[in-house]
Structure 1
Amino acid sequence: MSHVIVIGAGVGGLAATTRLAAMGHRVTLVEQAAQVGGKLGRDDIDGFLFDTGPSLLTLPQVLAELFGATGAPLAESGIDLQRLDIACRYRFPDGATVDLPGDMDAIPGALDAALGAGRGAQWSAFLTRAARIWDVTEQPFLRSPIDVGTMVRLARSLADVVTVAPWRSLRGIGARHLSDPRLRMLLDRYATYTGSDPRRAPAALATVPYAEQAFGSWYIPGGLYRLAEELVARAEALGVEVRLGTEVAEVLTSSTGVRGVRLTDDTVIDADVVVANADARVVYEQLLPAPDRATRAVARRVRRSTRSFSGFVLLLALDDAPSDQPHHTVLFADDYDAEFDAVFGRGGPPRPVHRPTVYISAPSDPAVAPESGSGAWFVLVNAPPHDPDGGTDWDAPGRRESYADHILDVMADRGVDIADRIRHRRIITPADLERRTHTPGGSIYGTASNSASAAFLRPANRSPVPGLYLVGGSSHPGGGLPLVMMSAEIVAAMIGPATSPPKVP
């Protein structure tokens, strides 16, 4: 039986931990924070519970596969998935509003009713195109290790190359199918799922709206943090040693590969395999202090890549919360291009967006709001990473409070005025995210997919150091709950089963 150390208890790390333990490995999970979850965090403010990361789950089949592979099936777990009837309410700059149904078949009618006849047919035709990209890319890219061989196999099929259209951006493929600027704005929004700019992100990201609408938008009563709680409970049932408040200072190596980790208190834990659920930049620049030539090459590539943007968050405990608010709302910016220019530092250093798109998660869930009529709202705007030297210093005196006030004013201008209902307000800036998750600058997705190849060339799950693997949003296949669970499946398959797997509970 081999000993595996998993660094980081985000969802990718938890998924890898449970899979490897179910395959018979002895696993130690170490997490620098006092709670599991990583970017899938939870804050409790006077009994109001807030998910501080993802607010919806897509591709529920991936979660079901994880639970089925590690013990009792999802239906018998503590996770009760609920499909949202309204996936999201979108408000466009011209004031038009559409409640996008969670049922894919109902979407065309909703778009026609809100935006005008023919819009639904346009969107459906685009999703048909996106479905073809999904069929080509799901297995070889999302569910398999990414390597040169995979790229070569795709290149050999002219039909597949034409389908994926690697020479075209997400904005470009939208322009070919969507004549209504509001539909193009709706598509642009999905580039933000990878922290990217739709003008530069590859057309392959068209699979994101397809997957969300084909397989549904889902919520877990009690909040998505319940997923982290269930996964760590399953890990412990499988015999995993979970060590919270334990920070790794170094991955130890020998001439043959990894040999363990050194903690910040200088304790050494020996291991045969190390799985790092940490930002790839941290792994290659901090945890491997004396890398070889191959590792240095990967580190240079990671360092040269464009960081994804971060987020500025308001956690709002509301009295008398608006009763007509759907679970998710997007209030689009008047000038979406100006927003991407600001967060990526075009036309000046990276800077807060003056009139940003506002994302609101307002679950109608009595488990997260302690009193009848109250609400626990999570409000997010895209923001540049914390960078006091060359960009935005989110710790500058007064910046967080003044920008929070400004965001509330923007919301009111767009028809969601809740300033006089706020009982408690907590602000989470990119600097706070950096401190909470040890992610440079608080970049949510590691690197942005801001080139034709970037979506396919994230840091590989297998590092150049034998026995060291990467899992999670900054490595292949990318960020978001289903993708980090896929990365865990890839890594577990690479490591393989121990000789005598235990009977899973």
Structure 2
Amino acid sequence: MSVAARLAALGHRVEVFEQSEEIGGKLGWFSRDGFSFDTGPSLLTLPAVQRDLFLKTGDPIESVLDVVALDPVAHYRFADGTEVDLPGGGLPRVARALDEALGAGTGAQWTAFQRRAAAIWDVAREPFLESPLDGPRTLLRLARSASDVATVAPWSSLRGLGRRYLDDPRLRTLLDRYATYSGSHPAKAPAALATVPFVEQAFGAWYVRGGLHRLAEAVADRAGEHGVRIRTGTPVTAVLAEHGRAEGVRLADGTEVRADVVVSAVDAARLYGDLLPRPRLRPRPSRRSTSGFVLLLALDGRTPGLRHHTVLFPDDYDAEFADLAAGRPVADPTVYVSAPDDPALRPDEDSEAWFVLVNAPVHDPRRGTDWRSPDLVERHARTVLDTMAARGLDVRDRLRWSEVRTPADLEERTGSDGGAIYGSSSDGARSAFLRPANRSPVPGLFLVGGSAHPGGGLPLVGLSARIVTDLIGPA
């Protein structure tokens, strides 16, 4: 939707084909009985990306959306019983909160790590996040500067880098969580992912009143203002490329739509494997990112002191990553709760709408977990609720109803491979820099979205749209 709005603003005639009946993709939405839930992202980081989109296509984002800073950003509960609210408003406030909650000196440890993360951000932002991917040559550009290589530390993992700065085990647990933002293992994900907590805490975390799905609606409205035609419930079954370049798409009803340029937001694995079935075009196999198992909980009553985000850590975080690597449901998962204090999401003042997520392996009936098994889904839902209760958030007697969303559901709704939230994982020293490129091997075919460069999550998806717009240029 973002690239459609940007290209239309530059004079292109654009048509969007969306397989779902609703726009938004993984930025989903569910409503029932007055309860409403964002079913994908629950916060907005690096808002400058979205502000740039709206400014380049018309009026500023504030003219159509109420974007508010979160403070605190999240409440964390560790296995030893300690708790901390991580505030918004910048790194010094975070350091003070850590000192007060976890003990003197923890703030200084985290600050030292964040200084290194800031240096990585300065080196990597332009060549790796804001520019087109150019395969191994992208890494070679960095290699020309020994100091830049030393800063980014491509030979080190996120966990390895963290242990140079963080002695407190709770800080290490906190850092490990940020690897899951890209569906990766902290001991395998590159040190460059240190930029994830840096961006969140240096530039703030934000929420859109009424739910983040309103961002998708606002982008669609902006695209429509520039003449973009959006056709929902219209799956694409093939990219037409008979004469050596992309010439359009074939729809599920057999209709062929001709175009000078095709931009795909389909999961890259599905694009190259199914819509462009020529084997030589398929990228090298890569490990899929993890997925998520979700409970949407409609609750009676209000929870005193409830934060917008709550994270409940397990006793053994490594056991969780081992379960995910083995392709099995996590026995003792980290539990993530998003419960915005937003009247638009609940039917009355004496109720709450909770989005509850635990990390999960992708849907893979042949080699891993079959998320279409009703017995498995029911057992795992009970596990999540029991785990929440054991860690101090027991809502079982307040439950009006619940909805379950599995990796298989995500695959069906969005076409993502196995329900992988971020496409390929960032495991491996070079993986974060070598995702499927925005310019495909087929002339005239471009890739955007979370499975392509520069990666998943709202800010990176927005950057992919900006990169592709620059590659295509004005009409």
- Output the TM-score relative to the length of structure 2: 0.98
1:109 to 96, 101, 106: 96
Larger displacement relative to structure 2 (256-265 or 196-205): 256-265
Shift of 1:321: 2.5
CA distance in 1, matches of 2:278, 2:176: 41
Counterpart of 1:316 (choices 288, 292, 297) is 297
> Counterpart amino acid of 1:253?
A
Of residues 320, 330, 333, the one that matches 1:339 is 320
The answer on whether the counterparts of 1:321 and 1:421 sit within 8 Å (CA) in structure 2 is: no
In structure 2, the partner of 1:186 is 174
Distance 1:138 1:238 in 2: 30
Distance 2:309 2:246 in 1: 44
> Which residue does 1:253 correspond to in 2?
241
Where in structure 2 are the equivalents of 1:74-89 lying within 5 Å? 74-76=61-63, 78-89=64-75
Query: In the TM superposition, what is the alpha-carbon distance from 1:397 to its structure 2 partner?
Result: 3.1
SS in 2 for 1:398: helix
**What does 1:411-430 align with in structure 2 at a 5 Å threshold?**
411-430=388-407
Give CA-to-partner distance per residue, 1:395-438, whole Å, 9 cap, x none.
11311112111110000100011111111200001111111111
State how far apart, in whole Å, the 2-side matches of 1:26 and 1:452 are: 40
SS at match of 1:275: strand
The aligned residue for residue 114 of structure 2 is 127
Q: Which residue of 2 aligns with 1:485?
A: 462
Query: Does the 8 Å CA contact 1:342/1:351 hold for their aligned counterparts?
Result: yes
SS class of match (2:241): strand
Structure 1 runs not aligned, ≥5 long: 1-13, 499-505
Give the Cα separation in 1 of the matches to 2:413 and 2:393: 29
1:28 and 2:15 correspond: yes
CA deviation vs aligned residue, 1:117-150 (integer Å, no higher than 9, x gap): 1000110111011000000011111000111433
Q: Secondary structure at the match of 1:235?
A: helix
The letter for the 2-side match of 1:337 is D
Would you say 1:198 and 2:186 are equivalent positions? yes
Structure 2 letter corresponding to 1:470? L
Secondary structure class of the residue paired with 2:247: strand
Structure 1 counterpart of 2:2: 15
Aligned residue number for residue 378 of structure 1: 355
Give the corresponding residue for 1:220: 208
Counterpart secondary structure, 2:469: helix
Amino acid at match of 1:56: L
Q: Which residue matches 1:503?
A: none
1:236-290 Cα shifts (integer Å, max 9, x gaps): 1110111000000000013240111111110110011000001000000000123
2:431 partner amino acid: A
Percent of counterpart pairs with the same letter? Answer: 60
Partner of 1:405: 382
Q: 2:129 maps to which residue?
A: 142
- Structure 2 counterpart of 1:470: 447
Matches within 5 A, 1:487-502: 487-498=464-475
AA matched with 2:450? G
Q: Does 1:364 align with 2:341?
A: yes
Code of the aligned partner of 2:287: T
Tell me the residue number matched to 1:163.
151
Q: CA deviation at 1:323?
A: 3.0
- AA aligned opposite 2:87: P
Per-residue deviation, residues 4-39 of structure 1 (Å, max 9, x unmatched)? xxxxxxxxxx11110011011000000010000000
- Match of 2:33? 46
Aligned residues: 473
One-letter code of the match for 1:155? A
- SS for the counterpart of 2:345 is coil
In structure 2, the partner of 1:4 is none
Tell me if the contact between 1:45 and 1:424 (Cα under 8 Å) persists in the aligned partners. Answer: no
How far did residue 85 of structure 1 move?
1.1
AA aligned opposite 2:309: H
CA distance in 2, matches of 1:219, 1:262: 37
Instruction: Kindly state the Cα deviation for residue 324 of structure 1 after the two structures are TM-superposed.
Output: 1.2
Q: Does 1:90 align with 2:76?
A: yes
1:306 and 2:306 correspond? no
SS at match of 2:45: coil
> TM-score scaled by structure 1?
0.93
Q: Distance in 2 between matches of 1:387 and 1:162?
A: 39
Counterpart residue identity of residue 229, structure 1: E
Pairing 1:330–2:307 present = no
RMSD, matched Cα = 0.9
For 1:448-463, list aligned pairs within 5 A: 448-463=425-440
- Mark the runs of 5 or more structure 2 residues left unpaired by the alignment: none
| Partners of 1:38 and 1:321 in 2: CA distance | 31
Match of 2:273 in 1: 285
Structure 1 residues 194-243: Cα deviation after superposition (integer angstroms, max 9, x where no partner) = 00000000000000000000000100000000000101111111101110
Secondary structure (helix, strand or coil) at the match of 1:86 reads: coil
- Return the offset for 1:366: 0.3
Letter in 1 for 2:330: V
In structure 1, give the amino acid aligned to 2:12.
H
Aligned residue for 2:162, secondary structure, equals: helix
